[in-house]
Structure 1
């Protein structure tokens, strides 16, 4: 039986790295594999840790956790894996261990996308640590294979680190096609009523917490060129929501912007919308783009991450430059479609992600695991033969 250990700081339903590992774990088990997990709590060996309340201290604590996991946590997980020599291990973030490493983002690429990468790296020494750690990771022998989440991410890896020693395999993120689906007419009416939206309003939804990198400012300014569109914004913190609201008021679109704050369940907000917008500067593979498409929403997004591989420009959405006018014009183009035409765009959006169910993605990981197991058996047989001849 296939035995897998997933190494991940945190795991659970939702978005981000934790959600990816959680979905893979469920599907691995459904496909017959035995799965264990090794998390930050396992590395802490039962010791509790308090999270500081002050924002600056929380940022420092997050950075220090990365350093601790990369050093002490790595030593501990290696001992854990040594007790499971038959398992294939899949590492997500921070720890320097595992047969397979899943690249969830290149720190230098993210800094470049935000502008002035040297200054951004210097102002946060933890970013420098991550870059140097990952340079060691990709150019050394820590892992037997690397999974990139898109073809574009492969190029980012080579751009940031030069030669990548382990073979790189592209396996995108998946989407829960049962959880994210086009709403029924009743679900759509209820979702809109909860937000006090009328039937006639055309609504674009934006989802994300890092407003600057995700391009919320571009989407807000784009409303000046999309007079028929209301922008629904999910995510953020009190501080950055206040800043974004002030920006919307400054450009004269404040009455067409609705902030709902962070939400775990995106379903009602996707059900209430007619389209999705994400003019992001950098993504390895934005889960929310897949979730929006699966929900039957045409997307307006930049050519980052996996988007160019799943969005067919003019068919299930638009691939755009990070330019407010262009973003706004594309949103308005969708807003002016008839209801029947918008439904057809939504049908094509849904069809475009049906090959990327979490079950199908997990099977691709298991195919990679089988290759690594076969290589291990060949190597063990060769070493045994050498020992016998010696």
Structure 2
């Protein structure tokens, strides 16, 4: 039986890094692996983390937990792994230890994609810390393998940090094909009734909390070029929702936007929609794109992250420039399809992600980890990468 430790700040069902680690844990266990975890709470040993006391550090208090887990957490994770020499390990974010590191994004690449100048990036001490930490991670030998979530993610990594020490493997995120599936006619009718939608509206949905990076403005302004589309918006907070609604009114489309705010049960809301729009500036591999496709929604997205590897124009959606007219015209093109053509497009959207179910992705990780363990044994290394990192 393969013994696997996941090192991750937080783990649990849902979205983001925590959700990816949770899905891997469940699926790897189902494949027969013995699973263990080392989290932020484990690193704390039940005690509170000391908060910075001087004024300078107080200004970066928001990143302090990340810095603590990256430094103190790394030392404690190395000890944890050294006590389990038979285990192979997967690390997600912050800690610089573990056989395999899963790269969930490159911060500097994300900021460059949003047009941030080097000055704006590096004047933030947290950004400087992340750059130095990850330069050590990627240029050194803290890990044996770095998993990138898309070919674009791997290219961004090399462009940012130059030659990468560990070898790079590309394994995309998985998707829960049981939870995210096309709705039955009854489920679709109920979902629309809950939102007081009629049967004729063509509804596009946007999901994301970072409205700026995810490109909500381009979707809102795109409605000018998509006169038959209603845009449903899930996520955000009161301040940015108010700002986005003002923009919608300024462009004369305020009556065609529906702000739902954060919602836990995403599947019920996707069931009410006809397409998904996501003009993001940067992604490593957006889970929500895979979830939308699995739910039978064709996707209009910018060619970032995994989107260029999964979306085929006219087959399961469209790739577009980050331009309101381009976004709007593709939304309208999908919305103007008759029911039969839209149903066929929805079927192809679902079919395109069937090979990415979590059981299949977990098997790829298991194969990788077993290969890493064999490499480690052949090289005579007694345990996980704690030894390789000088821990």
Task: Give TM-score, length-normalised by structure 2.
Answer: 0.94
1:112 aligns with 2:112: yes
Any idea what the Cα deviations from partners look like across 1:347-379, whole Å, max 9, x if unmatched? Answer: 000000000000000000001101111112212
Alpha-carbon offset, residue 123 of structure 1: 4.6
Alpha-carbon offset, residue 121 of structure 1: 1.4
Once residues 58 and 312 of structure 1 are traced to their aligned partners in structure 2, the CA distance between those partners, rounded to angstroms, is 47
1:166 aligns with 2:157: no
With CA pairs under 8 Å and 6+ residues apart, which has the higher RCO, 1 or 2? Answer: 2
Tell me if the contact between 1:221 and 1:251 (Cα under 8 Å) persists in the aligned partners.
Answer: yes
Alpha-carbon offset, residue 193 of structure 1: 0.6
Tell me which residue corresponds to 1:303.
Answer: 303
Tell me if the contact between 1:70 and 1:94 (Cα under 8 Å) persists in the aligned partners.
Answer: yes
Tell me which residue corresponds to 1:343.
Answer: 343
Secondary structure at the residue paired with 1:255? helix
Secondary structure at the residue paired with 1:368? helix
Alpha-carbon offset, residue 119 of structure 1: 3.6
1:8 aligns with 2:16: no
Once residues 244 and 330 of structure 1 are traced to their aligned partners in structure 2, the CA distance between those partners, rounded to angstroms, is 21
Alpha-carbon offset, residue 60 of structure 1: 3.5
Secondary structure at the residue paired with 2:308? helix
Once residues 208 and 117 of structure 2 are traced to their aligned partners in structure 1, the CA distance between those partners, rounded to angstroms, is 22
RMSD between superposed Cα atoms in Å: 1.7
1:62 aligns with 2:62: yes
Tell me which residue corresponds to 1:370.
Answer: 370
Once residues 324 and 255 of structure 1 are traced to their aligned partners in structure 2, the CA distance between those partners, rounded to angstroms, is 18
Once residues 4 and 262 of structure 2 are traced to their aligned partners in structure 1, the CA distance between those partners, rounded to angstroms, is 33
Tell me which residue corresponds to 1:35.
Answer: 35
Alpha-carbon offset, residue 59 of structure 1: 8.4
Tell me which residue corresponds to 1:287.
Answer: 287
Once residues 304 and 153 of structure 1 are traced to their aligned partners in structure 2, the CA distance between those partners, rounded to angstroms, is 9
Correspondence 1:150-165 to 2 at 5 A:
150-165=150-165
Secondary structure at the residue paired with 1:11? coil
Q: Which moved more, 1:61-70 or 1:152-161?
A: 61-70
Once residues 349 and 119 of structure 2 are traced to their aligned partners in structure 1, the CA distance between those partners, rounded to angstroms, is 39
Tell me if the contact between 1:108 and 1:117 (Cα under 8 Å) persists in the aligned partners.
Answer: no
Correspondence 1:214-293 to 2 at 5 A:
214-293=214-293
Alpha-carbon offset, residue 231 of structure 1: 0.2
Once residues 381 and 233 of structure 1 are traced to their aligned partners in structure 2, the CA distance between those partners, rounded to angstroms, is 51
Any idea what the Cα deviations from partners look like across 1:218-266, whole Å, max 9, x if unmatched? Answer: 0000000000000000001111111111111111100000000011210
